[in-house]
Structure 1
Amino acid sequence: MPRLYHDGPLSPGATVELPERAARHVQVLRLRVNDKVILFNGDGSEWDATLAQIGKRSVVATIGRRSAVNRETPLDVHLLQGVCAADRMDLVLQKATELGVASIQPVITARSIVRLSEERQARRHQHWQNVVIAACEQCGRNTIPVVAPGLGFAEVLAALPAAGERILLSPDGEHNLRGLPPPAHVRLLIGPEGGLTPEERAMAVAAGFVPVRFGPRILRTETAPLAALAAIQALWGDC
């Protein structure tokens, strides 16, 4: 059944007008009046709903029964991703959401190719959050990972909470995932195209990140987080 995100309160018997993005989704799927859909707003629940009106730019749905469906991993995983080219960043956001991350912090590093003005950065941030919402619609998550605004490398390290395992994926890392104690919280740091500079790597290690080598091959910036997240979930999460 199609799943649609609504950025507002939901309650049984209420009628809501869906946001324009959801309305476009309805049009693409060629849904009709009286078709059934599932609505969610990120509060951890989902709602049965029936399409009541379909216009060119608006869709109205009548809300039915609420279900508290939890599809979250028990492992609290946060991705710190070096900002990379637009299509690669979108792929990372989409797949990281499917793999259960709780949040994504875009990190602006010395080798980040993408450099945006403040105005473009705000638009890109909203785009990133929309990519995550669309991924939640597809994968069934009812809790939406937060995409934080992009921050500089030093700012990200300074703002990290004390708790949890800190993992830096590095081609010359001295450790592997199987050798780490099972954590309850993980922060995974991935560099952009070209990787982190030696200075940034040293800063990360000084901040408590454990350099982990993920096989003998060098992975692209969009491959590394997805491979690592899948392995982390298999070792310590819900896979």
Structure 2
Amino acid sequence: MNRVPIFLEESQTNDEYLIVDPYRIEHIKNVLRGQAGDPIKITLINHGTGVAKILSLSPQEIKIQLLSLTLGKPERLCMLIGVCRPPSMEKILEHATTSGVGEIHFFCAELSDKSYLKSKVLREELIQKKLLDGLAQSASGSHLPRVSLHKNLRLALDALPNNPSRFMLSPKATAWFSDYPPCEEPVFAIGPERGFTEKEETLLLQNKFLPVCISRGVLRVEMAVFHAQAQLELCQRLLSQKISETPLR
């Protein structure tokens, strides 16, 4: 946990916050070994990142004072992911949040194991915990991604933002992200372990998804997600660099 998550609802005054959650109290006391007067890095959820000072500690609560806050922005990446093995979904929720994602749409693909829909990983309280764990490991991220579950691909597509830059992972693809123009708000679709059916691929193509390849090898679902995130971030950085280097006329 690089940063301790803080919620706006925990505010006592304009700059003081009271933590009563045992998990965070234990982390501050036993992992960070925090003492009264010590500074700690914090993330004010859905607002920004900053530094706070510990005012007081007890086994039941910790009071902190916010010293500085840098406002953050929601991430722009949207991911469409076929329901897969619960351990994979658990890793995606946590580590994709660390890397930066704005929306995660899980959907029951035709080749998804339907029993996975009953997994505790998809319970709201565990989703929230994994998102917070992921955000706490982020150096600069401050906003929790929106997570939703859909019965099938068509319903998931109906819920997507109307972003023009859409990509889907396909074993038939020969193009990489770098072969397309850099984009600011990408949508990336990936199937479950057994991939998309031809019917699903056709539906994605009809919805203007471009097939891409992200590795020469066959990857686990969660590794494919992380590969895609890293490559899309690089493309976004190249776009930002190109814009900054464009001379004014």
Q: Specify if TM > 0.5.
A: yes
Q: Which amino acid aligns with 2:57?
A: Q
Q: Which amino acid aligns with 1:53?
A: L
Task: State the distance in 2 between where 1:182 and 1:15 align.
Answer: 41
Q: Which amino acid aligns with 1:105?
A: H
Q: Which has the higher helix share?
A: 2
Task: State the distance in 2 between where 1:97 and 1:234 align.
Answer: 17
Q: Which amino acid aligns with 2:125?
A: Q
| Distance apart, 1:161 and its partner CA | 2.5
| Matched residue, 2:117 | 116
Cα 1:190–1:50 shift into 2, 3 Å: same
Q: Which amino acid aligns with 1:68?
A: T
Q: Secondary structure at the match of 2:116?
A: coil
Q: Which amino acid aligns with 1:107?
A: F
Matched, 1:145 2:144: yes
State the TM-score, normalized to the length of structure 1: 0.84
| Matched residue, 1:21 | 23
Worse overlay, 24-33 or 178-187: 24-33
Question: Quick check: 2:84–2:116 contact (8 Å CA) kept in 1?
Answer: no
Cα 1:79–1:24 shift into 2, 3 Å: farther
Worse overlay, 154-163 or 122-131: 122-131
Cα distance per residue 1:13-62 (max 9 Å; x no partner): 5241343332242354162431432332221243413051231xx33122
Task: State the distance in 1 between where 2:23 and 2:166 align.
Answer: 36
Give the number of aligned pairs: 233
Question: Quick check: 2:86–2:116 contact (8 Å CA) kept in 1?
Answer: no
| Matched residue, 1:67 | 69
Cα 1:236–1:15 shift into 2, 3 Å: closer
Q: Which amino acid aligns with 1:61?
A: K
Q: Secondary structure at the match of 1:68?
A: strand
| Matched residue, 1:37 | 40
| Distance apart, 1:72 and its partner CA | 7.1
Question: Quick check: 2:41–2:52 contact (8 Å CA) kept in 1?
Answer: yes
Gaps of 5+ in 2: 241-249
| Matched residue, 2:201 | 201
Gaps of 5+ in 1: none
